[in-house]
Structure 1
């Protein structure tokens, strides 16, 4: 388990890789969910509680302060954005993309000027939901594979195709938006 915990902190590993690997290694879904969620809770608490100390570091502090000012001004100018900040931060932590997770969610929440407790709750909810989805999904898929290897392989292949199609669609959509802005 300690090897998986260390690997969890080394990019690009995250919920989407460590949890299925742990389940394949024989750990129960509830144990790995609890371990990874508690790691995220500890990371979030550390970042949220120590963010004010980072603001006092000479060069880093000024950079963070300027980014916080920009983010707060933008959110105040867009009133609708303030209402969705909690849901958005929770989804940021939930979605398994590189650069999302407990650390970046906590930093972003504090940069946006959200209260410490609010940031902490968003990170905890997003992390627990993500861990549960991956743990239960991997456990069910492994059980299906053990009962019928062909069906399990087919379901896994279908999941991979859907994820790749979604990523490709997201990439094409983003590219079109950038092209529209440039023209």
Structure 2
């Protein structure tokens, strides 16, 4: 098994540590400012709301993307936005993992996940051979709990370096977000123009229900295997 210790602080001083905390948030601010240059105010505010909803559990890209497209946000923009958030979240975790462990309520939950994950991986050593591709697939799967934060923890349990984990999260976020957005956009284009908005709502509800059923099946299978 590869080394699976927690990413320790690298001896950075206070100023460097502050930069590591603030840079991911500053990047999000720059992204929003750039998008605001060409996006109408109403859509920009809606995009901000979707970003917040994506960060705060339990909503994931399987919910955020269909709702965003239904509300008029271009499919490529919401896909790019969520992929960027995965990158920013992965960057924050790579630079501040020990800090996250010290956050009340969040830290103990992460430690519990790490302990359970280590036991899971110890029983399945073959997963180590697929660690890089496996983490990309894990992050790209459009299910709750497959984003950058949990992906960072999983990568750390596999003994991956910060650069490896951030690379996997970025690639997985791009694949997952654009795959879902393209699929939803394709379904939306199949709806006749004069069919009315209620047809769109029904279609998206059906898609959401199908994704929910898939997620619950995945959870049952996962619990059965553990």
The alpha-carbon deviation at position 8 of structure 1 amounts to: 1.3
Residue 147 of structure 2: aligned partner: 101
Question: Structure 2 stretches of 5 or more lacking a match?
Answer: 1-46
Greater displacement, 152-161 / 21-30:
152-161
Matches within 5 A, 1:97-176: 97-147=143-193, 149=195, 163=211, 166=214, 170=218, 173=221
Q: CA deviation at 1:87?
A: 1.6
Q: Is the 8 A contact 1:142 1:152 kept in 2?
A: yes
Corresponding residue number in structure 2 for 1:17? 63
> Could you tell me how far 1:169 is from its partner in structure 2?
5.3
Shift of residue 80 of structure 1?
Answer: 3.2
Deviation at 1:166, TM superposition (A): 4.5
TM-score, structure 1 as length reference: 0.72
Q: Which runs of 4+ in 1 moved over 3 A?
A: 52-57, 60-80, 146-149, 151-178
SS in structure 1 of the partner of residue 59 of structure 2: coil
Deviations 1:62-95 (A, max 9, x none): 9988987997798689663322111221121111
Structure-2 separation of matches of 1:48 and 1:157: 36
Instruction: State the match for 2:17 in structure 1.
Output: none
CA distance in 2, matches of 1:23, 1:50: 33
Provide the C-alpha distance between the structure 2 equivalents of 1:171 and 1:79, rounded to a whole number of angstroms. Answer: 21
Number of aligned positions between the proteins = 176
- CA pair 21-86 structure 1, distance change in 2 beyond 3 A: same
Task: State the alpha-carbon separation in 1 of the partners of residues 93 and 52 from structure 2.
Answer: 19
CA distance in 2, matches of 1:164, 1:38: 24
* Contact 1:94–1:126 (Cα < 8 Å) also in 2: yes
Is 2:114–2:153's contact at 8 Å kept on the other side of the alignment?
A: no
TM-aligned CA deviation for residue 146 of structure 1 = 3.3
Mean Cα deviation higher: 159-168 or 139-148: 159-168
Q: Is the 8 A contact 1:72 1:113 kept in 2?
A: no
Displacement after TM superposition at 1:111 (Å):
2.9
- Kindly report the root-mean-square deviation, in angstroms, between the aligned alpha carbons of the 2 structures: 3.9
Cα distance, 1:153 vs structure 2: 8.7
Residue from 9, 32, 41 that aligns with 2:78: 32
User: Structure 1 unaligned runs (5+)?
Assistant: 179-183
| More helix by percentage | 1
- What's the TM-score once normalised by structure 2's chain length? 0.60
